[in-house]
């Protein structure tokens, strides 16, 4: 039975969407192709009708995650600095990595794969430019890099500890410190 081109395109997108969520939630290495395809009711062999390799899927999934996140969090990204910091370092973002920013979960793996992703460069530059546009002071470029790294680091570490109080303390302390450093008023 032959499927229409539309069916193939929809299946391709389903694979990307599922992989994007799994890569953000579980990591790239922990996401096997066979379980990924099985979750979609597809065969492992069918993967290669859509992608040349897992690396190609990783790149497409990363682009999709970045695009979906930008669309879903437009109000956070376009909002003021306080909104961005508090939204990023929130319990909801920490507890839902499959729907959140791909960088805390995927960036360390991407750097270890031998060839970092150009999509990561694009995402990082876009996030830095967004932060720099919101940060005042005398060194907005430097401060945007520091803020960006503190956001990602705090989220990564808060997800990696077992103690829920410690996890929350990491988020709260980093959030308060960043708001103080960036001159954002307390609410």
Q: Which of 52, 59, 46 is nearest to 19 (CA)?
A: 59
Helix axes 54-72, 118-134, angle to 10 degrees: 20
Mean pLDDT over each residue of the chain, to the nearest integer? 88
Q: Compute the average pLDDT of residues 63-78.
A: 69
Instruction: Report how far apart, in Å, the C-alpha atoms of 59 and of each of 53, 106, 109 are.
Output: 10, 11, 13
Q: Say if CB 28 and CB 109 are below 8 A apart.
A: yes
pTM of the predicted model as reported, rounded to 2 decimal places: 0.84
Q: Say if CB 44 and CB 37 are below 8 A apart.
A: yes
Question: pLDDT: is 14 or 67 the higher one?
Answer: 14
Residue 76: pLDDT over 70: no
Q: Say if CB 94 and CB 155 are below 8 A apart.
A: yes
Residue 47 DSSP label: G
Among 4-8, 44-48, 66-70, 72-76, which is the least confidently predicted range?
72-76
- For the beta carbon of residue 85, count every other beta carbon within 10 angstroms: 26
Best-predicted range by mean pLDDT (42-56, 108-122, 146-160): 146-160
Residue 157: pLDDT over 60: yes
Say how far residue 115 (Cα) sits from the centre of its chain: 18
- 73: confidence class by pLDDT, cuts 50, 70, 90: low
- Determine the longest span between alpha carbons in the chain, in angstroms: 65
Residue 149: pLDDT over 80: yes
Give residue 58's pLDDT: 92
């Amino acid at each position: 039975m032959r499927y229409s081109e539309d069916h193939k395109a929809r299946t391709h997108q389903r694979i990307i969407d599922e992989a994007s969520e799994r890569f953000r939630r579980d990591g790239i290495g922990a996401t096997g192709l066979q379980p990924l395809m099985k979750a979609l009711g597809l065969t492992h062999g069918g993967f290669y009708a859509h992608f040349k390799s897992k690396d190609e899927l990783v790149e497409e999934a990363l682009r999709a995650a970045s695009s979906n996140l930008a669309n879903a969090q437009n109000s956070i990204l376009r909002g003021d600095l306080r909104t961005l910091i508090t939204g990023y370092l929130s319990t909801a973002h920490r507890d839902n990595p499959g729907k959140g920013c791909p960088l805390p979960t995927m960036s360390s793996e991407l750097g270890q794969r031998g060839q970092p992703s150009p999509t990561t460069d694009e995402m990082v530059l876009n996030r830095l430019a967004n932060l720099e546009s919101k940060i005042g002071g005398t060194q907005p470029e430097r401060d945007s890099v520091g803020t960006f790294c503190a956001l990602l680091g705090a989220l990564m570490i808060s997800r990696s500890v077992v103690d829920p109080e410690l996890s929350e303390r990491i988020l709260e302390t980093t959030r308060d410190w960043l708001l103080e450093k960036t001159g954002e008023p307390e609410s």
